[in-house]
Structure 1
Amino acid sequence: MRSRVLGARTDRAVSPVVGAVLLFALAIALLAIVQTAVVPSLNAQAEFQHHERVQVDVVALDGATDRVVASGIGESVPVEAGLRYPPRMFFVNPPPVTGTVRTTEPEPLAIANASADGAAGAYWNGTTRTFDTRSLVTMAEYHEHTAGATVYDSWSVSNRLTNDTVVVSGDSVVDGRRVTLTTLDGDLYRTSTTTETLDLVPTSAPARTVTVRATDGPITLTLPTELTETQWTTLMDDEIDRTGDRTNDRYVSEVTCDRSPPDPCGQVTITLEDGARYELQLGAVAVGGNGTHATPTYAVDIAGDETSVSENGTRKLVVETRDQFDNPVSGVETTATLDGPGRLRTLESATGADGRAALVYEAPENVAATTDVSATVGFGERPRERVTFDLRVLDLDGSGQRSPTATITAVDDRSAGNQDRYDVTADLADADGDLDRAVFELRTPDGTVLDDATTQIGGSSATVSETLRVTAVDRHDEYRIVVRAVDAAGHTAIDDRLVDGSG
């Protein structure tokens, strides 16, 4: 009887142990299910969100590149290359995701049939100009999420999958009559499981604008790209002129690809309409800080050309050295020669941060008659590397043939909104009393006339005021105001002044 009671008690003691074992086994099974099914799903979500953040970072890098080109000041931009999974108690994560940030091999970008007026025309003379550019590629080796590379190539940000490319954002290469192109440089290759900071270094900036027109056929822009013709047509949809209407502010006549759809273009060619002048703005940025800085390519006269100076007077001459992207180059040594009487005095022989060097022409104490002289300034021997300043020395004491004089006395900047406007006043005189007209011009620094006004005058002296203005895409960062006094015999005197613009 007693033994039976003890057996019952033993059975009751075993039951809790068996229950605990069953609960532990169930917990292990649940953990295994979560580890094999739920954790991968959570990691896939984390990877997807990481891929979205990478796209945001690359789009931000695109915006930073635009700022660097505009300002000439470098920036640092973070890009979340890799990913570390959040810790999960009792569960095992795979190793962190390794991401790669790299630049591609350089490919050519070409601008054909573009010509400029003035000194810039020695470089932009219709010859095809070619520039190397790269793309920036970011790619993460995800464990669960399927995603391709995020690619930035200065005119678009895209996701490239095995058999497809999706455009994330696109920059407007052509906006009305403004053409903007930035090349990427730098030999970069980094791998990381965290965030990489990329230095953007300006190698040609701040960007200047040059006015160009077509010669020997329309201007064409040929760019390397992995987008399709359909995607490019969508990006350029607001700029393509499908009707040939010259008044609709659309100036792209055609977008064509080297390869037929649905294959990526390889190279896309954007053809601009004939008969218009375009504002061309180029720049270059190195990613990672190890790019090649642009080199001096051509020189332009900024102030002093086609002006007059009285005998025993002086005139300041300013030359600017530019690279192949039309932007200023500092530290370039310049030399000068003079053809005619007088002498040249150097103020700065090496170009400054604005790419400019200055010298002063000193006229002789007396000339027997109004005399033309020329000063040639530059940094090399090729024609495009030197500019000539044509000057007229006026015989004011009457010992020879007398010419008029022109002096700008006031420039009132009344710019507002999308219009740059200047009210210009000048004093004009002629000892012979046969003043004929006053001509006012608003020019770009490279000599293109943007606006002009002519006033008929007479007698021996006059004070004349005119308004010069430009709007929208014709605006520039700087202008040269030129006033010419012309007498009845055709003799001319010129004065000029540099003013800031809002372009």
Structure 2
Amino acid sequence: MFGLVMLLLASLQATAVPIWNEDIEFRHDGEVRSSVGDVHDDIVELSTRRADRSNTVELGVRYPTRPFLLNPPDANGRLRTLPNGTVTLSNATAAGEAGDYFDGTDRSFVTRTVAYEADYSEYRSAPRYLIDNGGLIEQHEGADLARSDPMLVDGTRINLVLVHGSLSRSGVRDASVMTRAGSPSADATAVSNESSPVGITVPTAAGQSYWESALGDELASAGGYVTSIRVTAGEPYNTLRLELRPNVTYRLRTAQVSVGGDRADGAPEYLTRGETTGTTAVGEHREVEYVVRDRFSNPVADVDVEAAVVDGPGELVAANDTSDDDGTVRYRYVSDRAGTATVRATFGSAPGALETAEQSIAVHSGSESTDGCRFPRWTAADPTVRLTNAQEGCAWSGVESVDGVSLSDPNLTSLTGANEEFDPKRQYFRLGFTVESGDTAYYVAVTRTTDLASDVVDLDGLTRSYGGSWSNTNVQVYRRVGDQAFELRGEGALSSSALEEWYQRTRSVDLLDQAAYGSGNPGVDELRSFTSGRTVTIRFLEFHGATTVTAA
């Protein structure tokens, strides 16, 4: 009997125990795939927003105790960052001050690949997991499989996700992995090259077949922009070289994320103009913005910037001359005479071209009308007027057959409420006007009114948050039904795409065109029917910001 028991135990040891242990190892591999995937997802998320994330990876396997049976030593796993590798962007040129930095010469950055592998006793074909250039890769003997969508090139978008830090964990215990946003990318930089291919060179632990498969849809032969994919073998990395079609504008995002170490905050590298451009009127305050950026073209906070009018009329008053979380500094410009002013901003002890940015401001005087408004006369021959902050109560008569009221060349302002306090996160635009003919009057509120009981001038304000998010986009059309009574005839929300094109000055937005509204606005059809073929008077009752208005 004893011999039979020993024979049975020997059989279990030789056949069953390896099978049991392989099953444990296989299930652990699935858990690790998920955990490393969570770390990958954190890196991708923190490449676009400033935050910290923590995840746990169970590194290895402890085999259960089995009476009278023997187990191999615990299976250790290892999670680590591979050595530094160099990312290079070639032949990429940007416009404006960004062109001082992206000037077509090579721009190089440092990154690392995160790798996990386990030393299993039985599951010998277990893959290695890689977080490589923003992608999650399952690496088998002779085959690399994509476990996430590739990020490096997506249409005309170039996404360089750089990993900073040193991580080395091994054993069987749980390992805590801290991921921190070092330099998240909130905005893209437009880069191009008219004659030469834009080149991207990155270190990679993957091979040629992986990248050809991952970027197959991006190839020029498939309707994309990648003309060449070439991987050169090397140690500790292979080198991937991509070439992209010339004479195409690409949207470049470069972000740095720290894994397993301290956050590497970006140092200030160069200065650009902010989102405020255009003209102003004599005596009117106008906001002037500059943005401090790091070597990845992302905003840098807490940098002192100096600005002054170096040519032309006017002066600056600092609103905040230390960059905020969006890297932005703001000033108020005002002039007591017409002309063109040059405003120059710098940072650092010895500013050069990278640390300097300039913008011009055209100041017009306008002409006095009988109601005290400083605007050019609005006539049928020239149905266009430039409106600037807080110049209200202005009327124009004799405007003939209006089929559209188009707004173009805008300046939004960060002044809010009666105290005119700056809000560094949002910009506003308010517009309220009546259209009158005979005893009939309509009132248009951009955006929605909060009270029409007496004065038709209480507006919430069209709002744009930093990065291009729009709110308070409703436009309301009222018709006067009594001395101080108005009836809502229709309302609708302007579409974010129409507003962003207006803001970026690529297209005007017509308040009487249904195409400007996401779901239409029945009030504008009624108003356009009223104005078409009539001579009307347009009176602006509230205005905050600046824009050119065309009624034709």
**TM-score for the superposition, normalised by structure 2:** 0.66
2:285 to 314, 335, 359: 314
Q: Do structure 1's residue 376 and structure 2's residue 350 form an aligned pair?
A: no
Structure 2 Cα separation of the partners of residues 222 and 69 of structure 1: 19
Tell me the SS of whatever aligns to 2:9: helix
Give 1:160-171 correspondences, 5 Å limit: 160=139, 164-170=142-148, 171=150
1:19-418 to 2 correspondences below 5 Å = 23-146=1-124, 147=126, 149-160=128-139, 164-170=142-148, 171-242=150-221, 248=223, 250-259=224-233, 266-310=238-282, 312-339=283-310, 340-364=312-336, 367=337, 370-380=338-348, 381-396=351-366, 405-407=386-388, 410=431
Contact 1:113 1:216 in 2 (8 A): no
Q: How far has the Cα of 1:396 moved from its partner?
A: 4.4
Residue 215 to residue 324, structure 1, CA distance change in 2 (3 Å):
farther
- The amino acid across from 2:156 in the alignment is R
CA RMSD of aligned residues (A): 3.7
SS at match of 1:384: coil
CA distance in 2 between counterparts of 1:157 and 1:354 reads: 30
Q: CA deviation at 1:184?
A: 0.6
Shift of 1:96: 2.2
Amino acid of the structure 1 residue aligned with 2:307: A
Q: What secondary structure does 1:118 align onto? A: coil
d(CA) in 2 for partners of 1:451, 1:54: 48
* Cα distance in 2 between the residues matched to 1:444 and 1:100: 53
- State the one-letter code of the partner of 1:124: F
Relative distance call for 1:210 and 1:299 in structure 2 (3 A) is same
1:302 touches 1:320 (CA, 8 Å); kept in 2? yes
Distance 1:465 1:303, change over 3 A: farther
- Does residue 451 (structure 1) correspond to residue 419 (structure 2)? The answer is no
Q: How far apart are residue 395 of structure 1 and its match?
A: 3.0
Residue 422 of structure 2 corresponds to which residue in structure 1?
none
Report how many aligned residue pairs link the two structures: 411
CA drift at 1:344: 1.6
Aligned in 2, Cα 1:222/1:420: closer, same or farther, shift over 3 Å? Answer: farther
Deviation at 1:360, TM superposition (A): 1.2
SS across alignment from 1:190 = strand
C-alpha change, 1:105 and 1:468, in structure 2 (3 Å) is: farther
Partner SS state of residue 79, structure 1:
strand
TM-score when normalising by structure 1: 0.72
Structure 2 counterpart of 1:71, which letter? R
- Aligned partners of 2:71, 2:366: CA distance in 1, in Å? 91
Structure 1 residues 218 and 441, CA gap change in structure 2 (3 angstroms): farther
Aligned to 1:474: none
Compare CA radii of gyration and give the structure with the larger one.
1
1:38-68 Cα distance to aligned partner (Å, 9 max, x none): 2122112212222232222222322221111
- SS of the residue corresponding to residue 71 of structure 1 reads coil
Match for residue 435 of structure 1? none
Using the alignment, how far apart are the partners of 2:190 and 2:505 within structure 1?
Answer: 10
> Is contact 1:187-1:290 (8 Å) kept?
no
Kept in 2, the 8 Å contact 1:156–1:167? The answer is: no
Cα distance change on mapping 1:441 and 1:218 into 2, 3 Å:
farther
User: Match for 1:393: what amino acid?
Assistant: V
> Identity across aligned pairs (percent)?
25
Kept after mapping to 2: 8 A contact 1:257/1:265: no
1:229·1:264 contact (CA, 8 Å) conserved in 2? no
After superposition, the Cα gap between the structure-2 partners of 1:188 and 1:450, relative to the gap in structure 1 and judged at 3 Å, is farther
Residues 205 and 265 of structure 1: is their aligned pair in 2 closer, same or farther, counting only changes over 3 Å? closer
Instruction: Decide whether aligned partners of structure 1 residues 496 and 234 sit closer, same or farther in structure 2, where only a CA change above 3 A counts.
Output: farther
